[in-house]
Amino acid sequence: MPITALPTPPSRTDAANFSARADAFLGALPTFGTEANALAVEVNGYATNAAASAATAVNAPGTSATSTTSLAIGTGSKSLTVQTGKVFVVGQWVTITSTASPANWMHGQITAYTSGTGALAVNVAMVGGSGTIASWTVALSAPSVSGNAVLTTSSYADPAWLTSLSGAKITGTVAMANGGTGAPDAPTARSNLGLVIGSDVQGYSANLASWSGRSVPTGAVVGTTDSQTLSNKTISGAASGSSVNDAGGSAWAIGFREVPQNAQSASYQLVAADNGKHIYSLNSAAQTITVPPNGTVGFPIGTTITIVNNGGAAITIAQGSGVTLCQAGTTSTGNRTLAVRGLATLIKVEANVWFVSGTGIS
């Protein structure tokens, strides 16, 4: 509403026109007051209408909204309430930003929106910042990049669209939460994975590398510690003292085509390694060879030892404490004497019972 301009006011410096101007000015004031009050009413009306229009604009259909739902920043499904009547559509991408601090945000895809209630559900895949906030601005945004992307220090969910990653495009150390080591070198990687060489994994060996180049044999492979059944096999290079078990479970020493020699020309007590050998003597004086008790040397049943006297004096074959030495073909037991150039064979038949036979025995 326009206001009528006031006439020229009176001035003390213009005495000649003072009275006329004062009358005119004072006479115009009532009209001015009426018009000014009417203008104030009109301005107030405009302000009220503007506020109403602003509220209407916020609630009008659109692609942005606000929410006071309290949410913790994080990936996954987020539910919040916004204004009703928005034109949000399932599948659209939105950014949910803190009204007070834009550095705190969540980005994801709309999975549900109810226009009548304002209920909005978003599957958040990327976030920035942290905290729990109850004042949000929601607006349409570009979707997550499905091609090349630069990943910063923000936290990212496990996106289904990431299907491959070229190693040639990666520099530096890449830490992976599941299955990766997050380590720049092999020792740290093993430590991160809890692998102890010699305990959890086999240490490197040149022998293993050599073995890897060999051809795998056909048929059953013979192990080293488990039980095996051999047929049509040739055993060669067996160490002294090697044994095999027969079907009845008895252990038998692997024989030799020759009888190994243990030269002993002084007093001597038989040891476990003498099994299957001959004791060869070139003594120059009386000599004693003792058969020890089972508790001292546990020779297996069937142990066979031959004593050859090619020396200058007789050999006494003495039975150790608790040992019974039986001369074959007789009822005699006890210590035996082996004459010069005599040969005696000892066979263990019980724990502490041995038989002796041969030539030159008395």
Domain coordinates in residue numbering, the chain? 1-60, 64-140, 261-361
For 303, the token pair is 């142990």
pTM, 2 dp = 0.37
Q: Report CA-CA distances (Å) from 137 to 58, 108, 351.
A: 12, 14, 95
CA dist 92 and 120 (Å) reads: 12
Region 14-34: mean pLDDT is: 88
CA 210 to chain centre: 30
Average pLDDT over residues 93-106: 95
Q: Between 3.10.28, 2.60.120, 3.20.80, 3.30.1380, what CATH number should domain 261-361 receive?
A: 2.60.120
H/E element, 152: none
Distance CA 333, CA 331 (A): 7
Residue 310 confidence (pLDDT) above 80? yes
Residue 91: per-residue pLDDT: 93
Residues 30 and 37 sit within 8 Å (Cβ to Cβ): no
Q: What is the pLDDT of residues 61-99, one digit of tens each?
A: 578 899 999 999 999 999 999 999 888 999 999 999 999
Split at pLDDT 50, 70, 90, the class of 134 is very high
**pLDDT > 70 fraction of the chain, expressed in percent and rounded:** 76
- The CA-CA-CA angle for residues 229, 235, 240, to 5°, reads 110
Q: Tell me if 69 sits within 8 A of 102, measured CB to CB.
A: no
**Residue 353: per-residue pLDDT:** 97
Q: What is the pLDDT of residue 147?
A: 45
170-210 residue pLDDT tens:
666 666 655 566 677 778 887 877 778 777 777 777 777 67
* Residue 79, both tokens: 């539910």
Distances (CA, A) of 236 to 239, 240, 242, 256, 257: 9, 12, 11, 11, 12
Q: What is the pLDDT of residues 219-277, one digit of tens each?
A: 666 666 666 666 777 777 666 667 777 666 666 666 666 889 999 999 999 999 999 99
Which of 329, 285, 278 minimizes the C-alpha distance to 308? Answer: 278
- Degrees, nearest 5: CA angle 79-85-87: 80
Q: In the chain, helix, strand, coil percent, each to 5?
A: 15, 30, 50
Helix ranges restricted to H, the chain: 18-59, 186-193, 206-212
Q: Is the pLDDT of residue 285 over 90?
A: yes
Tell me if residue 289 falls in helix, strand or coil: strand
Confidence of residue 100 (pLDDT cuts 50, 70, 90): very high
Cα atoms found within 13 Å of the Cα of residue 218, Cβ hemisphere only: 0
Put residue 98 in one of left, alpha, beta given phi > 0 → left and psi -120 to 50 → alpha.
Answer: beta
In sequence order, what are the beta bridge partners of 315?
287, 338
What is the pLDDT at residue 192? 79
